[in-house]
Amino acid sequence: MARSTPLGSGFARIAVIGLGLIGSSVALGVRRYLPDATVTGYDAAAGVRDAARDLALCHDLPDAMREAVADADLVVLCVPVGAMAAAAEAMAPHLAPHAIVTDVGSCKASVVEALAAALPAHAIVPAHPVAGTEQSGPAAGFATLFQHRWCILTPPEGTDPAAVARIAAFWEMLGAEVEVMAPDHHDRVLAITSHLPHLIAYTIVGTASDLEEVTQSEVIKYSAGGFRDFTRIAASDPTMWRDVFLANREAVLDMLQRFSEDLSALQRAIRWGKGDELFDLFTRTRAVRRSIVEQGQDDARPDFGRSHD
């Protein structure tokens, strides 16, 4: 179920917990697109809080989570999925009764379970903005990160529809297109579109660095476009992706098994010189790429729109 017209979220005080790339982008987006709202930030790392203050990410940046969430109408958890349960438990005693809680984790079934257990008296509308870069930390954030990107909501069964509508409106105000999915369906979809590609990128870059007959300087010096793009993905935040693979292990392992079978078939086609098979596969995958560009999910310009000035 997609929404296209912002309805007005009505959140006057918004707390952002975790001030990495996504959290800082949420804070900056709120300040730009919801100018009447007050945004309070918190991060467990004192150094991150100091950096966020220097960048003026939020209206207020207290040193305690309880102060950040105490008067919030909306709390956005922007911590790694492995830290969701602990963060929710820590803030639970300090939340206002009317507060709605959402998050930005890229695994949803485990997050829904963790938040529901820690916050049984609050409306919970988990979310996954499908946006990001390989950069991390508060300085990496920017207000337009969510523009023209999907944000998937995965509310538990029985969630107040009004709360879901308010969270949908919030993400739309930050520029996102909103879709609603069941948590387990989300995890299977993202396992193939996001999690497995990251796993492959980490593996290819790791394999290249381990090859004894190719020095590291040669790998870097002769990086062609494909390998270079894999290194961009493999530069993503290690804590975040460790937690993603552990939290969504069942779906990832399922997709990895399917990929391994397809890879074996490709290996056989190459070994036995089956050019028609290879051509048919590459034709199908080229069509997928064109569909992604047509739907506005990437840049059709040569070399992914990179500047060569």
Contact criterion met (CB below 8 Å) for 126 and 103? yes
pLDDT band at 207 (very low <50, low <70, confident <90, very high): confident
Give the mean model confidence (pLDDT) for residues 17-40: 94
Q: What is the mean pLDDT of the chain?
A: 85
- What is d(CA 138, CA 136) in angstroms, rounded to the nearest whole number? 7
- For 61-101, what is each residue's pLDDT tens digit? 999 999 999 999 999 999 988 899 999 999 999 999 999 99
Cβ atoms within 10 Å of 178's Cβ, excluding its own? 23
Which residues in the chain are classed under CATH 3.40.50.720?
13-181
The closest alpha carbon to 185, from 117, 233, 240, 128, belongs to: 128
The residue with greater pLDDT, 301 or 114, is: 114
pLDDT at 289: 64
Rounded Cα distance, 198 and 192, in Å: 10
pLDDT recorded at residue 309: 39
Q: Are strands 100-103 and 127-129 parallel, antiparallel or unpaired?
A: unpaired
Report the C-alpha gap between 293 and 295 in whole angstroms. 5
pLDDT in tens, 209-261: 777 566 666 777 766 667 777 777 788 778 888 888 888 889 889 889 988 99
Read off the pLDDT band of 281 (50, 70, 90): confident
pLDDT, position 306: 44
Q: Is the pLDDT of residue 4 over 60?
A: no
Do residues 154 and 188 lie in contact, with contact meaning Cβ atoms separated by under 8 Å?
no
Residue 102 has φ and ψ, to the nearest 5°, of -130, 180
R_g of the chain computed on alpha carbons: 21
Q: What percent of the chain has pLDDT over 70?
A: 86
Provide the pLDDT for residue 2: 38
What pLDDT digit, counting tens, does each position of 291-307 carry? Answer: 655 665 555 544 444 44
Q: Please tell me the CATH code under which domain 13-181 is placed.
A: 3.40.50.720
Q: Which of 32-36, 190-194, 211-215, 234-238 has the lowest mean pLDDT?
A: 211-215
Where in the chain do CATH 1.10.3660.10 domains reside? 185-296
CATH topology of domain 185-296: 6-phosphogluconate dehydrogenase C-terminal fold (1.10.3660)
**In the prediction, which pLDDT does 300 show?**
52
pLDDT at 133 exceeding the cut of 80: no
pTM of this prediction? Answer: 0.78
How many CB atoms lie under 10 A from the CB of residue 216? 10
- Contact between 91 and 17 under an 8 Å Cβ cutoff? The reply is yes
254 exposed, middle or buried (CB, 10 Å; 0-12, 13-18, 19+)? middle
Q: Check residue 227 and give its pLDDT.
A: 77
Calpha distance 190→179 (Å, rounded): 13
Mean pLDDT check: name the lowest of 35-39, 235-239, 265-269. 235-239
The predicted model gives 158-176 an average pLDDT of 94
- DSSP lists the bridge partners of residue 38 as 13
C-alpha angle with apex 83: 133 to 177, nearest 5 degrees?
Answer: 45
Q: CA 2: distance to chain centroid? A: 19
The residue ranking higher by pLDDT, 138 or 225, is 138
What is the structure's pLDDT at 214? 63
Q: Is residue 134 predicted with pLDDT exceeding 70?
A: yes
In the predicted structure, residue 52 carries a pLDDT above the cut 50: yes
* Closest C-alpha to 127, from 199, 90, 78, 160: 78
Distance CA 148, CA 145 (A): 9
